[in-house]
Every structure is written in C-alpha cells, then in structure tokens.
Amino acid sequence: MKRIAIFASGSGSNFQSIVDSVKKGQLDAEVALLVCDKPGAFVIERAQNENIPSFIFSPRNYEDKAAFEREILKELQARDIDFIVLAGYMRLIGPTLLQAFSNRIVNIHPSLLPAFPGKDAIGQAFRAGVKVTGVTIHYVDEGMDTGPIIAQRAVDVLDDDSRETLQQRIQACEHELYPLVIQKLLSTVMA
C-alpha cells in the first residue's frame, strides 16, 4: 500500500475527503502524514481526529525555503512516503522536494488551468464573468499551477451564483474527483 503525505494550509476539506475515501476503501493508500505551514490551521485538528501524524512548521522560523524543505524531506523519508498530495497548500514547492519526489507530487486547483492560476481562482473566475470554470489536477513543477495537467472537470457558473455558491459546487467537484485521480495515479503510475 502506498503511503501518501498531504500538504495543506487551511481548513482541510480536501484532506478530509481523501481520508474519508481511504476509510471507505475507495482509495487504496495510507495517509501517513500531514504537512502544514500554518500552525493554527483547522486541518491540524482534522489530522488529530484521524490519528494522522503531522509535521507543522512556520516558514519564518527558517532562513529560507530550502531550509524548511530539507526538514520536510527528513520527515517524509522517516515515514517512507511514496507520494505527495497538495490540498490547499499555499506555497510553491522548491527544488529540494521537486528533485526528491520527481513526478510524485500532485496539486488540485479550483479552475480550468491555464485559466485563473494562483490565489483566489474562484474569485478571479467569478469577477471575469465566465460561464464555465472547474477543477484541475496537475503534476507540480517549479511554477505556479504550471505543471502537466492530469485531469480536469468543468463546473458551470450559474446566472444566480454567488461566489460562495460557486465555491461550494467547485469544492464538491474537488472532493469527488481528487480521490479518484489519486487512486488511478497510485495504481498505474506508481505500480
């Protein structure tokens, strides 16, 4: 069974959907570690409730990105992590982790990339007045949401949508799609 680490910075709804998929037997993996760069994030409580170990750090306590990524890498190696899943981790991954986990780091983004990369993709799409947005799962490279696309799913923007209702539908799509894609990657690419 593949051991995955989930990196998250916020509430952890995608973290929870992945954990729930494992518990239901829909995802054949072990969530072996949460990595979180925000010591007060709600995702930490979710991990504690699931008895999943966490590595929590504050980037400002390190001299640079390479320093905290070396620390993360030690944690990943100590737990025999096979694959990294970014789930609302709001930092670019640097060379230390990219080299150690080449083609074994994926991210989910709430837009149909290449449209609306970076922060607040849902707000960007909403303000642009597009009729369709969606969800993209992609491999992570050194850029911001620029890695090769693995899967996408469209979400219509309804005439009566608010930013909040659109976000709810995008998150529901993410929670369904991400575990399916992770399972496919672990059973084919990582086999």
Question: Which residues are marked as active site?
Answer: 109
The 8-class DSSP code of residue 146 comes to -
Reading phi first (left if > 0) and then psi (alpha if -120 to 50, else beta), residue 103 is in left
C-beta of residue 177 within 8 angstroms of C-beta of residue 137: yes
Give the residue from 145, 165, 147 showing the smallest Cα distance to 157: 165
Amino acid at 144: M
Q: How long, in residues, is the chain?
A: 191
Distance CA 191, CA 187 (A): 5
C-beta of residue 147 within 8 angstroms of C-beta of residue 101: no
Q: Is the peptide bond before 114 cis (omega within 30 degrees of 0)?
A: yes
Question: In the sheet that 54-56 helps form, which strands lie side by side, from edge to edge?
Answer: 54-56, 29-36, 2-8, 83-86, 105-109, 132-139, 149-156
